[in-house]
Structure 1
C-alpha cells in the first residue's frame, strides 16, 4: 500500500463516512507441471511455450468464458495470510529467478513491457547486448535502467528510471494478487506452485505505481481484508477493482481468468459473476465497461477495504462517521429552529394586521 501523509490521515474519517454512504447505493442490474528444472503451469487449451513467453498465453473472450465456467469451487482460507508470513512466507522471496536464466523476474517484466529501454549505465539508450555485464547483481546482463511505460491500467505514459526514489513509479502488478490467491486456494498449494504463480509472466504486468497501489489485493468484485488477530479476516468483501481505462477491461478479464485457469483457482461467486458479465460483453464485441453506478461504488468500497486491516484507521473512521452524523443532526436541528422561527414571526405579523 502507498504511504499516507498526516494530512491524508486527517481526511480518512470523512472518506470512510463517504464510503459508507456510497455503499448504500443500489447495486447494478491446472496443477503445475514440471518443465525442465523451472517448471511451468498450463493454460487451458494452450500450447506450451518457453517460460519467458508465457505472458502471451491469454485466452480469447469466448475461451475465457468456457474456462471460467470450468473453474473449481472457491476454497477460502480460514485464517489471514499473516499467520503464515504474508508475502514471503507463502510465496517466497520477491522476484525469484525461477527459470534460472540469471535475471530476476522484475527486470524481465520491465524489459518485456517498457519501450525505449536502456540496459546500460552509459549515456544514451543502450540495448541488452551493450549492457551485458553492467547490471545489478540480480540481473547482471539485462538490468533495466530506464524506459517508458504505456500503462495498460490508466492509459498514461510513465517514465521509469531505476533508483531508490524513482523505481516505484513503475511497479510489477500480480493480475491475480498474491493475497487473493492465498485467500481462495493457494493456502493449500505446494510451495513450488505458489513460487511459480508469484513469478509467472502470465500473471505479471508493469503498471503505473499509483494504480497498482489503488488496486491493492482486490479481484474484480471482492478483496480479502482484515486479519485473524483482530477477528476481522474475510476472504471476500466488496467491491473489487477494475482498471480505470475501460479500453483495457476485456484484456484484464481475459488475463485474470487465464491465470485462474492455469492454476485451477476457485473464485468467489461475486468475482465469477463480474468476470462473466464483462467477458460476455467482450465476446459480443463490446468493451466490457462498467456502469457509472458500479464505478462509484467501487471507489467508495475500496476505501473501506484499504482501512480494514488497521485499528487506528478504523477508529478514525468511527470518529469521522460520528462527527459527520453529529454535524448533520445539529444542522438539521438548526434548520428546524430557523423554520419554526420564521413561521412564528409570520403568524405574529398576520395577527397584528387583523382589525
Structure 2
C-alpha cells in the first residue's frame, strides 16, 4: 500500500474542537485451480502454484493459529522508513512486473478481484482476447479499463473506471502494509525479498479506496507512526485497524498471518494477541469481530495518534484549546460585569447557641 497521509486527519478539526522460498516464486509448477478456491498452505506449498495463483494460499483458521505461534520475535526498526527512501527506497516502484509476464501487478490484481472486467477501449465489456494490444504500456495485453468490485473491507459494490480522476475509487491494498513490514523486520531483508512481498498476490487485495486510506499502514492492533526526523518514530502504537465488514474479519486475519508466515515476519505482541483472539473465535465458528466499545476506543486513539504525530495538527489543537480557554475566561468576566462586578454578600455568622 502506498504511503499516504492517514485519513484520520480529516477528523482533526473535530477532535481539536472536541521468506527464502519466495525467491523462486515466479516459477509456475502446477496448473491453477478455480480462482475462488482457498488452498491450505499445509496441503499445497508455495512451490506448487504459479506466482499469479499465490493469492489462494491462505491458511485456514486453525492452521493460521498454529503458524502464529511459530513466528519469530518482533524485530522493530530503529529508524523510520523515510531514512531509506520510504516506499520506493525500500520496496521499489509500484507496481513492478516481478514475474516477467508483461503486465504490472496492479492490473493483475484488478483482473483477479473485479467482476465484469473490460479489457478493451471499445464500447461494451470486452474479454481478454479482445483487449490484446489495446492496453497501457505497463500491461499492453491485459489492462483493466473497467469492472465491478465487491469490496471485501466494507461490503460495498464499487464501479471501477480507469482514469486519472476515477482510478482511485478502487485501490490495491497490501494486507500487511509495506511500512508495517519495514517496521517489523523487512528493514533487514534483501532487496529481492522486499520487492516480492510488495507485489505478492497473497498480500494484495483490490479494495475500496477510502477504506484503504483509512487503514493506512496499520496492523490489527498497532501502526508504525511518526518519523526519526521529528523524533516521533515508533514502530508500534495503537489502535490498529480491522475491516468494517464483520463477515470478512476471519478471512482478513487468516490472510494477514499467512503473509507473515510466508515471509517469517515477527509481529508486535499486541498484533499477535489481536490475531490470536480473532482466529480462536473464527476456528470455533465465530466471525472474529471486536466489540463496539473497542472499535470506538480505536477510532479515538487513531485520531489522537494522528494529532500527536504531526506538529501542524498539534499546534492547531493547542491554539484551539488556548482560544477556548480565553473564550471561557472572557465569558466569565462579562458575566461579572453584567452583575455589576460585585461579589455576592457573605453570609453572616450565626450567633445561635451563645
Q: Name the TM-score, length of structure 1 as normaliser.
A: 0.84
Correspondent of 1:34 among 8, 23, 44: 23
Give distance in 1, aligned partners of 2:170 and 2:301. Answer: 25
CA contact (8 A) 2:25 2:50 kept: no
- What displacement does 1:283 show? 0.3
Higher relative contact order (CA 8 A, sep 6+): 1
Give distance in 1, aligned partners of 2:169 and 2:234. Answer: 30
Other structure's SS at 1:265 match: coil
Match of 2:241 in 1: 241
Match of 2:113 in 1: 113
Match of 1:169 in 2: 169
Give distance in 1, aligned partners of 2:149 and 2:213. Answer: 17
Q: Deviation string for 1:263-307 (max 9, x for gaps)?
A: 000000000000000000000000011111110012122223434
Match of 1:62 in 2: 62
Match of 1:215 in 2: 215
Give distance in 2, aligned partners of 1:286 and 1:334. Answer: 59
CA contact (8 A) 2:243 2:249 kept: yes
Give distance in 1, aligned partners of 2:13 and 2:289. Answer: 31
Match of 2:96 in 1: 96
Give distance in 2, aligned partners of 1:183 and 1:133. Answer: 40
Match of 2:350 in 1: none
Match of 1:352 in 2: none
CA contact (8 A) 2:41 2:57 kept: no
Give distance in 2, aligned partners of 1:52 and 1:304. Answer: 40
Match of 2:190 in 1: 190
Which ranges in structure 1 are unaligned for 5 or more consecutive residues? Answer: 19-29, 339-343, 348-355
- What displacement does 1:335 show? 11
How has the CA–CA distance of structure 1 residues 301 and 159 changed in structure 2, closer, same or farther, with 3 Å as cutoff?
same
CA contact (8 A) 2:6 2:216 kept: no
Give distance in 2, aligned partners of 1:300 and 1:85. Answer: 30
- What displacement does 1:14 show? 3.4
CA contact (8 A) 1:116 1:125 kept: yes
Give distance in 2, aligned partners of 1:261 and 1:333. Answer: 64
Give distance in 1, aligned partners of 2:144 and 2:305. Answer: 34
Match of 1:310 in 2: 310
Other structure's SS at 1:171 match: strand
Match of 2:32 in 1: none
CA contact (8 A) 1:44 1:262 kept: no
- What displacement does 1:31 show? 2.9
How has the CA–CA distance of structure 1 residues 284 and 137 changed in structure 2, closer, same or farther, with 3 Å as cutoff?
same
How has the CA–CA distance of structure 1 residues 247 and 14 changed in structure 2, closer, same or farther, with 3 Å as cutoff?
same
- What displacement does 1:17 show? 6.7
Match of 2:319 in 1: 319
Give distance in 1, aligned partners of 2:302 and 2:325. Answer: 22
Give distance in 2, aligned partners of 1:243 and 1:177. Answer: 14
- What displacement does 1:255 show? 0.3
Other structure's SS at 2:136 match: coil
Q: Once structures 1 and 2 are overlaid, which stretch shifts more, 291-300 or 267-276? A: 291-300
Match of 1:136 in 2: 136
- What displacement does 1:37 show? 5.8
Q: Deviation string for 1:58-79 (max 9, x for gaps)?
A: 0000000000111000000000
Task: Give the number of equivalent residue pairs.
Answer: 327
CA contact (8 A) 2:95 2:199 kept: yes
- What displacement does 1:3 show? 9.2
Give distance in 1, aligned partners of 2:236 and 2:16. Answer: 19
Give distance in 1, aligned partners of 2:328 and 2:235. Answer: 34
Give distance in 2, aligned partners of 1:157 and 1:180. Answer: 28
- RMSD value over aligned CA atoms? 2.9
- What displacement does 1:330 show? 7.9
- What displacement does 1:334 show? 10
Give distance in 1, aligned partners of 2:147 and 2:162. Answer: 9
Match of 1:24 in 2: none
